[in-house]
Structure 1
Amino acid sequence: MRDPKVSEARRFCSKCEEPVGRGKDGKPGRSEGFCPNCGTPFSFVPRLHQGDLINDRYEVLGALAYGGLGWIYLARDRNVSDSVSDRWVVLKGLINTADEDAMAAAVTERRYLVEIDHPSIVKIHDFVQHPDPKTGVPVGYIVMEYVGGQSLRDILMARRSEGQRVLPLAEVLAYAAEVLPAIGYLHGRDLLYCDFKPDNVIHAEEQLKLIDLGAVRRADDDVSAVYGTPGYQAPEVADVGPSVAADIYTVGRSLAVLSFEFRGFSTTYAGKLPDRAEVPLLVQEESYHRLLLRSTHRDPARRFQTATDMTEQLLGVLREVLSANDGLPRSVVSRQFTPERRAFGTAAGEVTPIRCQPTCCPRGGRRAAAAPGGRARPGRRLPRHAQQHRPRRAGAAAGVAAGAQHRGLAPPGPRPDRGG
């Protein structure tokens, strides 16, 4: 970032969360100063600069972006670089505090993140401290692997610039099917992710990775600060704290944001979904609507209780969507959102209604005959996870492309005519 700046709209006090650094009477706001509400000092100027050496090991190359805990920096690990290649890492602020003992305790407490080892989760290498250049107070940083690629939010924004308002449903479901096991892995280690959203998932080549572990906390931690994002965070977190069910909620909200135009998701609809009749996709895809209803239910006890449970049901919906798009049969369907249908292929595109089991929703319903499918977009691959859902039929290409070319989700040719 050549000229690192934080827009005034993103400037808030780290303590009372009131707006700070805002312009007045046509004059730009201050990038450093004190909160007029509580007096807490604020600074939106990068603490680290190109050439700074952190912990006698990490050479700062520059600022990458600004996040909830401050600036994120790109650095080079001088301990492992050689004449052929360098190891790039990312430095992310860990905690905002002027208490040296609290900082040391926070760094020690967070070292458990180094033990996280999952292919779909960014690798944490180290925790370091470095004095603030102005105050001399140590500032803690997480050192993690650098992951190149676009976030799911970046992908969505790029599609919008091309005139495509949302991502195709099959693509969104395939992304979630790859990310959910990573969240389940954290839950299995009694850790909560807390701040899942499209911004925190990177599409790197053929793989998705969860990044930004700054909000991860132990499930039994009821002391440290809780971080989340309005519109994604479960409504009960403010009162009872984060939980596995709250993480499930954030995944459901992310699915909604990526798959349909969810205006007001952080304001008007911060704690609910829009009426089904207002969203054509939800009218067409009833099983998907029920998946969203359960994962984002206001009562945590009525959500999916594990990431594995949600993954299983989500894959059933994905198979249904793919089959409706290309008319090819796929085995294994959702046990929770039970489809009552004949096998695809008995009549091209024939789909019988799908009903929800009584344990899931208060009333049954009928799924629209078939959802419109999108054509393939060359140049981007979907998660490898989705290839297991391709049909076991000789000579048939797998599935339907959902916004990107992918093994297992590339269309075999023109879509078959599907009866209405």
Structure 2
Amino acid sequence: MLNALRGRQVNSSVMPPDNKRDNLQPFAAPSTVAQEPSVSPLSPASTLPDAGEAVSHSQGLKGKVLDERYLIEKELGRGGIGVVYLARDRKLVDKFVVIKVLLEKSLQNEWAKRKFKQEKEALARVDHPGIVGILDAGDLPDGKPYIVMQYVDGVTLRSVLRPEGIGLERAACFIKQIGAALSAAHEKGILHRDLKPENIMLQLLSGEEEQVKIIDFGVAKVRNSKVAPSTILSESPGTALYMSPEQLHGEKLTPARDLYALGVIAYEMVSGRRPFNPETAFQLSEMQRAGVQIRPKDLRPALPDAAEAIILKALSVEPRARYQNAREFGDALEDALIGDGEASACQIYQESSTQGIPDNRPHKSNKRVPRKLVAALGLALFLIVAGIAGAVIWTSLKAQTDMQSLQSAPRQQSDAEPSLPAANRALSYSLTVQKMRDGEPFQEPFESSGQEIFESGYKFRLNVSSPQAG
């Protein structure tokens, strides 16, 4: 497949200046390109403009109401098969939502219609706080389908990446959340296939906590799809520099494909650059086969050795050599980046029990008790228990010794009762009780049997005495 692409250069004329090399166009044989264009359908959230940013696209449905419910505010952008609008849900107190509508030209494209249906199916299958939620779907009067999705008020991961890399704790937080969200999708039989910083939104919660949201499932692979069962497993759309070697070669894809992309993103977070910087698809393939030549620590010496090893494992050429679970990868990298004994500052949304409606209540689910503190507390508890046990044993032995001393001592023949050890003296005490009520003198004392019922209104005097001396 790659031989036909040798030497072909990246067509960067349609890419933004900071994104020119993200999408190396020659990634499939010409026949495959004709069947499944190498374009990423525009994500609903990834194209949200910053505050005050003007949208230059034609207004399209602006001002119209869909399904007597969604008032279209403005067009946010267009992709290969769809157009995205910002709208207000009039049934939910003008709550902002994002609506993606299939383009007119895409109605005649079977591949585009199939992918649009699969995006809807993918979002409906998975309900996770780290994945943008689907709220509704329908058809316009002219037959064009639309999807209503959660509006993510935030920025893309791409916008926060820096040439020197981002903070290690922040990177750990992001990777952990992305890994958990990817695992949730994989468990539902969904491969994203186009994971990249542009398709990861960061939503600011209370304080400085950030919630990750994976977006743009427009080219996702849905296993056992109910709406598009004829999808070919070897189809390989996506963004070039985040493609795994097996995706680049058109081989069958597994969740390890998304793990590779997450490894590229992790490398980029900590080092400020991607592991490979090719000009053509063939160059990228050769670089991948040769392995990572510039290690993350070469660019960021302070990176822990364990973190570098975890990232490089995710970038293994062979899928079986990578992590097989995205959550496992995220947790391992978080531990390595933050360090043993430190607590993660991540906060994530609590998972919603209602399909398609995100629960907007943050909770500290990623707070970890440091392992060193756990060990210290365990040792302290052990010492306390051991101390108590020792005291009990010592007291028991002391009492036993006193009793033995008492039995072996010669009995004194005197009228006075001998002074006995404390352990025996306690057994010879007696208790008498006197009662008094309404100011009357105390009654005659009587010996307590321990079974008395003390009536309401009485006052009592307890007399404790012992016949022993001392």
One fold, TM greater than 0.5?
A: yes
| 1:217 counterpart = 2:221 | yes
Which structure would you say has the larger Rg?
A: 2
Deviations 1:261-283 (A, max 9, x none): 31674526843534228823267
Unaligned residue ranges in structure 1 (runs of 5+): 1-6, 19-34, 39-43, 324-328, 332-381, 395-420
Give the aligned partner of residue 189 of structure 1. 188
Change beyond 3 A, Cα 1:384–1:298: farther
Q: Structure 1, residues 55-77: CA drift from partner, whole Å, max 9, x if none?
A: 44322111224445443221122
Cα-to-partner distance string for 1:3-34 (whole Å, 9 max, x where unaligned): xxxx962399xxx969xxxxxxxxxxxxxxxx
Aligned amino acid, residue 15 of structure 2: R
Which of 350, 360, 368 is the matching residue for 1:388? 368
The alignment's TM-score, normalised by the length of structure 2, stands at 0.53
- Bigger RCO of structures 1 and 2 (CA < 8 A, at least 6 apart): 2
Identity of aligned residues (%): 25
Cα distance change of structure 1 residues 72 and 114 upon mapping to structure 2, 3 Å threshold: same
243, 255, 265: which is aligned to 1:244?
Answer: 255
Alignment-derived partner of residue 128 in structure 2: 118
2:240: which partner in 1?
Answer: 230
In structure 2, relative to structure 1, the CA distance for the partners of 1:10 and 1:92 (3 Å cut) is farther
Give the drift of 1:248: 0.5
Partner Cα separation in structure 1 for residue 301 and residue 223 of structure 2: 34
* Structure-1 separation of matches of 2:197 and 2:363: 15
In structure 2, the residue matched to 1:310 is 329
Q: 1:130 to 1:264 in 2, by over 3 A?
A: farther
Superposition deviation, residue 119 in structure 1: 1.5
Shift in Å at residue 141 of structure 1? Answer: 3.0
What secondary structure is seen at the aligned counterpart in 1 of 2:329? helix
**Is the Cα contact below 8 Å between 1:127 and 1:141 reproduced in 2?**
yes
How much has 1:179 moved relative to structure 2? Answer: 1.8
Q: Select which of 91, 97, 110 maps to 1:89.
A: 97
Kept after mapping to 1: 8 A contact 2:243/2:260:
yes
Q: Distance in 2 between matches of 1:282 and 1:93?
A: 47
The corresponding residue for 2:267 is 256
CA distance in 1: counterparts of 2:13 and 2:125, whole angstroms: 37
Q: Matches of 2:178 and 2:261 in 1, distance apart?
A: 12
| 1:61 corresponding residue in structure 2 | 73
The one-letter code matched in structure 1 to 2:243 is Q
Within 5 Å, which residues of 2 pair with 1:22-171? 46=58, 48-67=60-79, 69-78=81-90, 80-81=91-92, 85-93=93-101, 97-99=106-108, 109-112=118-121, 113-130=123-140, 138-156=143-161, 160=162, 165-171=164-170
1:196/1:105 CA distance change after superposition, 3 Å? closer
Structure number with the higher helix fraction is 2
